[in-house]
Amino acid sequence: RAGPWGVCEETTILHGGFLLAARLTQPRPLRELRKADWPRVGPPITDALGEIGARCPSPLQHSLWKKEAVAIVWAKVLLPGPPAASLDQGWKEDGFFSVSRMIPDVNHTVLFELVKALGAPRLFVQLLLALPQDVHRGELEHLVEYIASETSPSDVGFFLDVWWEVMKHKEGQEDATVSTFSTLIRQHGCESSLDDGLQPPKRFKGDPGSLNDPPAATSLLTVLIEGLKQTYRSIALPRVRCYALANLVELLSVFSELEPEGSPLPVAEYLDKVSSVVSLWTSDTESQFHHRRLDEKVKEAERSMSLLSTAKLSREELFVGLEFLCSLLHAWGEELQGTLNSSEELCYESYRLLDVLTTFGKNLVCFSETRGLDEDETRIVLELTQITKGFLKEISTSLKSKDLDTSLVSSVAMTIIEQKLDRHVEMCSIFASEKTWPFSKDWVDCLVKSKALFQKPELVLKLLETLVNFAMSRQDKDGRELQMQVTKAIVECYTELLLTDKNKVISGVLASWGGPGLSLNLQVVMEGFQEDLNVTFNQITKSVSDEGLTRAVASVARLMLLYPEATVKQVCNLAVVNLGAHQFLAQILCSFPALSFLETHDDPGRPHSLVVRCLEEAVWGRLSTAREEEQFLEFLAFLMQPSSAAPLVSSVEVTKAFVLPYLKSDSAQIELSLQILNKVLGIQSCSEEHWIKSCHPFPLLLSLCKLLDGYTKYWHQPRDQLFPSLESKDLVLNILCQLCEVVRPETAPSPELWVQSLAWLHRKVASLDWTVGLRLKKLYGDHFKNEVPATLFEICTLPEDEWTSQPLPAYGPGSGLLAWMECCCVSTALRETMLTLLTVNVDNPEEVNLFSKGFLVALIQVFPWCSHSEWKRLTHVVENLLQRQVLHVPYTLEYVQYMPLLNLRPFACYLQFSVLFLRGFQLLCSSSCSTWLPAEAWLHVVQLYCGSLMDLLGSVKSAAGPPSHPAEDRTSMQEVSFICIQMFCHVLHVAAMLPDKGCSEPLVVVALEILSQYETFSSADTSPSNTLRRANERHFLESITDNVSDKALRGTLLQKLSKLGA
């Protein structure tokens, strides 16, 4: 078959039909056929098309051939045969040439009757509107002229069908036949010969027409109205009158300025209308759609519901149409009312008329109110409004409101979804939420087949709600199987969502069913869930990596949908027990901002965080090792301040859950709570108002103050009483300092309340150790002075506008230096103040001696209760006083065999420091103080001492410079070696005095470090006498070490000494 319309078996059959028809018309040619002759002439043509249809393998193929046959005949009407001179060229170049020569010349009568016989108004309109703009009006006028002459009922029906199809037509849906037809007419339109005596259609020369001509689409509408004017007297049947009126009303409503600019029908109303149309076609045996399949009926009903106004009537044309409608309603209205009210059922045409008239009446009211109408226009609109209203009023309400079969409505909706027809996306929402449809076989099949359409968070949520409602009402075996099937489909829809949309679904699940999620009412979710949970997280924890995060989040998202609470608890538990996995697991959890959900439970006024509750129930109170506590702390910190996501838990929630209830000295979790509070305070507050305001800041401050007060009696607390370790004291001090920074007057609701709160705290703190109040100075500001023992004024010149004394029985005469030293421990700033205000007359030897002795006594009184930071402040005080030569510490050569001929002046301070420590231990270990400290206190004291010695050793190294440089000053190497020997001897002396052997480990570490430094510096000495000196020093060190009573300490040190110089 050459070309689109080449000669083939089908065209040969068609050719035969036309030849037979041509014989029947003889002696007149087919091109002169009259309407009355068609019943005699037409059968051979229609029989030929019937034979072609019988040979087509499918209804679709038959439909295509009908369209092709009409296109060929129409082309033959518009393009009569070419002149004989062009025959030789035509068969080579013209694709239509061969078929054209097979069909005799025909006229519009053949075309129109053929289309009528085929019952194909839609394909006629498709071909009509594919014609050039200057042609299709002429062709429609031909049709009107044809219908108006010798009008039969079939003529009227055909005309109204064509009208209706013109309004339903949508551009851009042309198939190959329509495109070929359009191209052919456009190519040959100007070449058609007029020699055959046929009159061409108006404006058929391809001329664009006059500039004053109306737009082509609009002119078609006026032709249709004109056609009804010419034929309405031939319309007698009520059904056809309804059809005609509905067409006219819809044309005037949609294709004019009457159509309001508004949103489309709500989808539920749209579904009802489509279902009503389908129902009417199904029950009406006279309808052309009665025998069609459901999907075909739905598609056709949708076409009739979505008219597109590609063109608008002018105001003048509109009012001509309105006047005509008015006259028709006057002529037909009363009879139609009676007919409609006497019938039990509506047909489609009468339903459509009532529907469009209802909308039309509303549009008229809106039109009259919003458009500027002149007197005549107002009269017409008002009259038509009254007629329409009166017509509808007389119609029985039972006809206008027919109850629809629920199963039909659901079937229509499912057809729209499965066929992806107009508004199928909106229809999914009704499908997912309609209570009476779900879980029929068709419903489940539709969901499974069309699940790609339900991949939206709002639809997934509606489906889940429907699923839960069904599960609560059906518990039998079949019901459970349906639940499983539907759950699987919904989870697959959910799995395909973006992470942000998954979070929307999780938010909805939590809002509806709380932490248990679907598991609350959906038992099938729990079957195999725990195993699935374990397997999923086993895989995740084995492949912790940034690359695996997306995959892990996707796996967890599914579990989070089914049972959020259990999934969060599993993450929390694994974050603590899986070494190093806590940050990865926190990243997974933070990928679900929906988990920031706040539960209300029995107290709607006090919502609680789901994640915090899961942490409390799954982890808190079960942390068994320091490593687990550390991972929990880091995990919690990440949840509060993730690197690239919104915080999952707030500082307030964490503080209220894990800090405030446990901030008591006898709480087992207090040290972890303090670490949490420290972490929380380190996180920057995002809002202008600090979160601490919501956490009862003043009671919190008081709790910390009470803890500090407890530390002043630390070594004398009952052994069976819980109390945080002394190592935590610095943490408490740091937290208190931070709180004093953030708790400002702005955090109080009013200035008056701020002052009242300060007074309350000051009153409460007054019963605690006096040093606690000093730590609140930043908070107190100018409201309260520093309150200190009166004896402090004896050794300091304190300004009375900032300082005031208080009578403390424990601070009798001579205790001023003790109070001064305790002040030095409070803060760096206060230490510097104390050093500045200290009054010691260095010109008075007796005063310096008394001060130095008193300093040593005060030092050992403060020493055991110091935290690491407080002790560092005190060592700085010692260093400062030694450098200023206010503190006198004589150095005796207890551990020297020979007089050292060295320059020790640059290192004098370090030697004095070491000796001061030794003297302190001599006093501390003396018989007068032997029962002063409990056994466990000595380890703390030794740790502080060893830490200071390490710092001292570092200072000596810094003062001497690196030993690896060539010895410009060889004596410095010897001096450092000498200092190391002295410090080593001091350490062994202290070790010998200690009452408990359990303190040797820190001493071993510092002694070995001293020996290592000694070896480094003595080896760097290149003087000639170095070898001899080192041998003598080694012998001396070994003899000293031999006298150590602790075997473990002695053995370790002798082993180290044996390797010196080896």
One-letter-per-residue 3-state SS of 464-485: HHHHHHHHHHCCCHHHHHHHHH
The pLDDT assigned to 387 comes to 93
Q: 804: which strand partners?
A: 787
Q: What is the pLDDT of residue 197?
A: 35
Q: What is the pLDDT of residue 211?
A: 36
Give the pLDDT of residue 966.
Answer: 46
How does pLDDT run across 549-558, given as a tens digit for each residue?
889 999 999 9
The model's confidence at residue 687, banded by pLDDT at 50, 70 and 90, is low
- Looking at residue 203, its pLDDT comes to 38
Judged against a pLDDT cut of 70, whether residue 398 lies above it is answered with no
Query: Looking at the whole model, is its pTM more than 0.75?
Result: yes
- Whether 758 has a pLDDT exceeding 50, the answer reads yes
- The percent of residues in the chain predicted with pLDDT above 90, rounded, is 59
- Which two tokens mark 390? 């009166």
Tell whether the model's pLDDT for residue 633 goes beyond 60.
yes
Q: How confident is the model at residue 520 (pLDDT cuts 50, 70, 90)?
A: confident
Please tell me the predicted confidence (pLDDT) of residue 788: 96
Quick: pLDDT tens for 926-935.
888 878 888 8
| SS3 state at 346 | coil
474-480-486-487 Cα dihedral, nearest 10 degrees: 110
Strands 803-806 and 598-599: unpaired
- Specify burial of residue 660 (Cβ count, 10 A radius: 0-12, 13-18, 19+): middle
Q: Which of 430, 433, 408 is nearest to 274 (CA)?
A: 408
Q: From 693, 605, 706, select the one nearest 651 (Cα to Cα).
A: 693
Nearest to 802 by CA among 839, 765, 833: 833
Identify which has the larger pLDDT, 520 or 401. Answer: 520
Cis check: omega of the bond before 564, within 30 degrees of 0: no
Q: List b or e across 627-636, with b for residues whose CB sees 16 or more CB atoms inside 10 angstroms.
A: ebbebbbebb
- Distances 812 to 14, 230, 792, 794, 808 between C-alpha atoms, Å: 131, 127, 11, 12, 8
CB-based contact 923:856 (threshold 8 Å): yes
Give residue 94's pLDDT: 54
Q: Residue 562, exposed/middle/buried by CB under 10 A (0-12, 13-18, 19+)?
A: buried
Cβ atoms within 10 A of the Cβ of 402, count? 12
Listed in sequence order, the residues at least 6 apart from 830 whose beta carbon sits closer than 8 Å to its beta carbon are 774, 823, 824
Name residue 806's beta-bridge partners. Answer: 789
Widest pairwise Cα distance in the chain? 157
CA 825 to chain centre: 50
pLDDT at 369 over 50: yes
Question: How far is Cα 126 from Cα 480, in angstroms, rounded to an integer?
Answer: 51
| The pLDDT of residue 449 | 93
Q: Are 877 and 913 in contact (CB under 8 A)?
A: no
Q: What is the pLDDT of residue 1061?
A: 62
Contacts within 8 Å (CB) and 24+ apart, 754-760: 755/783, 757/698, 758/783, 758/784, 759/783, 760/698
Q: Is 580 left (phi over 0), alpha (psi -120 to 50) or beta?
A: left
The predicted model gives 185-194 an average pLDDT of 59
Find out whether 539 and 559 touch, Cβ atoms under 8 Å: no
Q: Does residue 541 register a pLDDT over 70? A: yes
pLDDT higher than 70, residue 258: yes
Name, in order, each residue with C-beta under 8 angstroms of 548's C-beta and a sequence gap of 6 or more: 540
Distance separating alpha carbons of residues 927 and 923, to the nearest angstrom: 9
The C-alpha atoms of residue 328 and residue 495 are separated, in whole angstroms, by 59
- Give the tens place of pLDDT for each residue, 314-328: 999 999 999 999 999
Structure tokens at 881: 């006083």
Which pLDDT does position 969 carry in this prediction?
Answer: 53
Q: Which residues contact 73 (CB under 8 A, 6 or more apart)?
A: 103, 106, 110, 111, 114
> For residue 199, what pLDDT is reported?
44
Q: Give mean pLDDT, residues 942-956.
A: 95
> What average pLDDT does the structure give for the chain?
87
DSSP 3-state of 776: coil
pLDDT category at 686 given cuts 50, 70, 90 is low
pLDDT at 547 over 90: no
Q: Which two tokens stand for residue 812?
A: 């009798």
- Cβ–Cβ < 8 Å for 564, 537: no
Is it the case that residue 110 has pLDDT exceeding 50? yes
The confidence band for 342, taking pLDDT boundaries of 50, 70 and 90, is: confident
- Look up residue 695 and give its DSSP letter: G
